[in-house]
Amino acid sequence: MDLWSSIGLSVAILGGISVVFGLLLWFANNKLKVPVDEKFDAVRACLAGANCGVCGFSGCDAYAKALVDGAAPPDACPMCKGAMRTELADVLGIELPDPNPMTAHVACRGDNYNARHRFTYQGLKDCGSAAMVSQGHKACRFGCMGLGSCAAACPFGALTMSPEGLPKVDRSLCVACKRCEAACPKGLISMVPANEPVRIACHASVRGADVRENCTVGCLGCGLCVKACRYSAIELKDFLPTIDYSKCRHCGVCAAKCPAGTIEVLLDARHKAQVDAGACSGCGVCANICPAKAIYGHENQLHHIFRDLCVGCGMCKEACPSSAITLTEEGGKKRA
């Protein structure tokens, strides 16, 4: 057999083998393949892919499968917002209620400068480890350790440590996954409604005299905030004020009365008053009752609101006999 005949035979043999294996692969692909669930793929595409586990499942794939099987609530993923949320509702063929987003809140202002230290801690840079040494180096046994375990636990970069030694929350990045909450040995971090601007920034449930010995910005338990709130939204429990957000109107009077500055008001989260020009009668009741002097107008004429001055307390809305005032976000969404 000459050289060319040998080459031809080899090519024929290899070609035959290729055909046989090709047929085997075709057979296996058609007989053994797993059916593709198009609905699963569509649901999975609506999820963020962070695999954070906040939904209660091991990851986005597991949550998507549970959604398709009807074994999981459709609003368990805090990262599924806006267009993603709308698309998910369309794929599932359901209506999702408006979300009530939560965000992490650190109930402490006792940084390295206004909170007293009992000793210098030189161990592991971990709050849990530091808390095991005589309940920590901070004199206030309720206060932040300042070592950043919460920031290290956040997979979304929503918490960072300030130069003063306190964690700061970026509400635009926080998805309320609660990992920071679990990482804090002092129980300082909790999830609060993101659209509620009034926060209590202290966790020390002891008498004010004991607090002041260890921290210059801790709550004194004086109760002035309770007396100042005309909506009965604040109650004192274990020497600490608690807020009933169903009653709070964001007026900020409690924060103004607090002698220690323990109550914070996030101005950018407040709603603002807005006048319906067609309904306003010009009676002036709103201007007379406004504690911020944010409303002006002549009698029997349309009244206007300085939104920069408005504190969103809602007193004008409640007093308006014409129901001409609503509270809205900066983007125009109304608050009930």
**Domain of residue 55, CATH code:** 1.10.15.40
Using CB atoms within 10 A of its CB, is residue 13 exposed (0-12), middle (13-18) or buried (19+)?
A: exposed
What number is the average pLDDT over the span 60-74? 87
pLDDT of residue 124: 92
How far apart are alpha carbons 236 and 251 in whole angstroms?
Answer: 19
* Domain-embedded: residue 226: yes
Q: Is 28 in contact with 21 (CB distance < 8 Å)?
A: no
Residue 67 predicted with pLDDT over 90: no
What number is the average pLDDT over the span 318-336? 74
Residue 268 predicted with pLDDT over 70: no
* Amino acid identity, position 78: P
Looking at the fold, whether 142 and 160 belong to one and the same domain comes out as: yes
Looking at the fold, whether 183 and 263 belong to one and the same domain comes out as: no
Say which CATH number the domain at 252 has.
3.30.70.20
Looking at the fold, whether 190 and 200 belong to one and the same domain comes out as: no
How far apart are alpha carbons 37 and 59 in whole angstroms?
Answer: 18
Looking at the fold, whether 190 and 104 belong to one and the same domain comes out as: yes
Last residue of a domain, which of 236, 251, 269?
269
Q: What is the DSSP letter of 58?
A: S
A 10 A CB-CB count for 176 gives 19
pLDDT of residue 220: 93
Domain count, the chain: 4
Looking at the fold, whether 252 and 330 belong to one and the same domain comes out as: no
What proportion of the chain, given as a percentage, has pLDDT over 70?
Answer: 90
* Domain-embedded: residue 326: yes
Last residue of a domain, which of 73, 92, 111?
92
Q: Is 157 in contact with 173 (CB distance < 8 Å)?
A: yes
Looking at the fold, whether 76 and 107 belong to one and the same domain comes out as: no
How far apart are alpha carbons 139 and 148 in whole angstroms?
Answer: 18
Q: Between 153 and 252, name the one with better pLDDT.
A: 153
Report the mean per-residue pLDDT for the chain: 85
DSSP H or E stretch at residue 271: none
Q: Is 309 in contact with 293 (CB distance < 8 Å)?
A: yes
Last residue of a domain, which of 240, 269, 298?
269
How far apart are alpha carbons 139 and 163 in whole angstroms?
Answer: 20
Domain that holds residue 300: 272-335
How far apart are alpha carbons 131 and 129 in whole angstroms?
Answer: 5
A 10 A CB-CB count for 172 gives 8
How far apart are alpha carbons 35 and 161 in whole angstroms?
Answer: 49
How far apart are alpha carbons 191 and 169 in whole angstroms?
Answer: 11
* Domain-embedded: residue 3: no
Task: Say what the pTM is.
Answer: 0.68
Q: Between 298 and 98, name the one with better pLDDT.
A: 298
Distance of CA 210 to the CA centre of its chain: 32
* Domain-embedded: residue 63: yes
Looking at the fold, whether 110 and 168 belong to one and the same domain comes out as: yes
pLDDT band per the 50, 70, 90 thresholds, residue 8: low
pLDDT of residue 331: 47
How far apart are alpha carbons 251 and 314 in whole angstroms?
Answer: 8
* Domain-embedded: residue 8: no
Looking at the fold, whether 204 and 158 belong to one and the same domain comes out as: no
Residue 94 tokens read as 């359901």
A 10 A CB-CB count for 203 gives 23
Looking at the fold, whether 160 and 218 belong to one and the same domain comes out as: no
Looking at the fold, whether 260 and 318 belong to one and the same domain comes out as: no
* Domain-embedded: residue 14: no
* Domain-embedded: residue 246: yes
pLDDT of residue 96: 76
Find the Cα–Cα–Cα–Cα dihedral 288, 293, 294, 300, rounded to 10°.
30
